[in-house]
Amino acid sequence: MLDITIDGRAGAGLTFTHVPHQAPVDVNERARLLENPGFGRVFTDHMVTIRYNETEGWHDARVEPRGPFQMDASSAVLHYAQEIFEGMKAYRLADGGTALFRPEANAARFRSSAQRMAMAELPEDLFLESIRQLVRIDHEWIPTAGGGSLYLRPFMIASEVFLGVKPSAEYIYAVIASSVGAYFKGGASAVTLWVSQDYTRAAPGGTGAAKCGGNYATSLVAQAEAIRQGCDQVLFLDAAERRWIEELGGMNIFFVFDDGTLVTPPLTGTILPGITRDSILTLARDMGLTAREEPYSIDQCRADAESGRLREAFACGTAAVVAPIGQMKMRGGDFTIGTGGPGQTTLRMLNALTDIQRANAPDPHGWLDRLD
């Protein structure tokens, strides 16, 4: 076993124990899997685990072979849904190196999610080191063709064994990694949204701004309805008036108008503060574009699409990066946005963002975290 001691104030004295995999996936089999990995189906050899209890704090940090958890049937997460997660990517660069994109933002959001869910807060430098440890060991799993990347899933679950409604006193933090290709099979072709008028994602005072599994679980019935309607994704409206556009089941949304202005719904506690969303706002302003965070109603969206004022719309998030939106369907009639395909501003944002992520363009904001 290899002990790796991390530096840093919050991680001082904590050692990562590296337990090598005794039977890693064969090199030829790995190459076959990476030819067409899909999304979220191909996993790397290793994982990170760190444990917490109120007596020892964070301890027992390991990089070890990926495998199942052994859990008691009374573990708190199974009954009271105390769990949070993040989504981020590692990229293969043209020079053969690897890099993460804005990992410190994921670390900060993970800590914020833990606060909202009354969970132990993982120090941000420990979060970052756990990601770097796993990527360095499993970097050969990053696809080299077709815009592939290594999707990283840090998560934390309540592991105390008890039945009772209270915050858990014990937690397991883990990171797994998955080799991925494009999130949508059609690549840059436009997606169609189903506007849910029966279900909502989050309400004021709830967990909408936290990245917890419950938010996604409650979206699945609406997503299933969207699929039945021949759509790719569901679009949620606000819980109070069922009028204001909020976000998709797993992505934020932007609108582009005929004057070049971009608009995205504001962060009012019911919308996830997406890191891709924040990056696009920054890039748009760097380009001299007006980018506003303001409420936008579904009725106004329809009227603007029909008048031609609304030229483009796109969804954004770590998994899909940027996905053009061509059509919205809902009770009362469907409508097309712009030409129904990817617009110029949408593609400009997609290219600008991916060029920075893969070190093919200058990185003025220092977003890339190189691991070589």
Q: What integer pLDDT is reported at residue 182 of this predicted model?
A: 80
- Say how far residue 15 (Cα) sits from the centre of its chain: 28
For residue 12, what pLDDT is reported?
Answer: 43
The residues, any chain, with a CB within 8 Å of residue 159's CB and separated by 6 or more, are 51, 71, 75, 76, 77, 168, 170, 171, 172
The answer to whether 251 and 323 have CB atoms below 8 angstroms apart is: yes
What local confidence, expressed as pLDDT, does residue 147 receive?
83
What is the spatial distance between Cα 138 and Cα 232, in angstroms, rounded to a whole number?
32
> DSSP 3-state assignment of 316?
strand
pLDDT at 44: 98
In this prediction, residue 232 carries a pLDDT of 95
327-362 burial code (b ≥16 CB/10 A, e <16): bbbbeeeebebbeeebbebbbbbbebbbebbbbeee
The radius of gyration of the chain's CA atoms, rounded to the nearest angstrom, is 21
Question: What's the pLDDT at 183?
Answer: 78
- What pLDDT does 10 receive? 38
Residue 187's pLDDT is 52
Could you tell me where the beta strands, DSSP code E, fall in 240-281?
245-248, 252-257, 262-264
User: Which positions of the chain have pLDDT values less than 50?
Assistant: 1-12
Q: Helix crossing, 103-116 with 275-286: angle to 10°?
A: 130
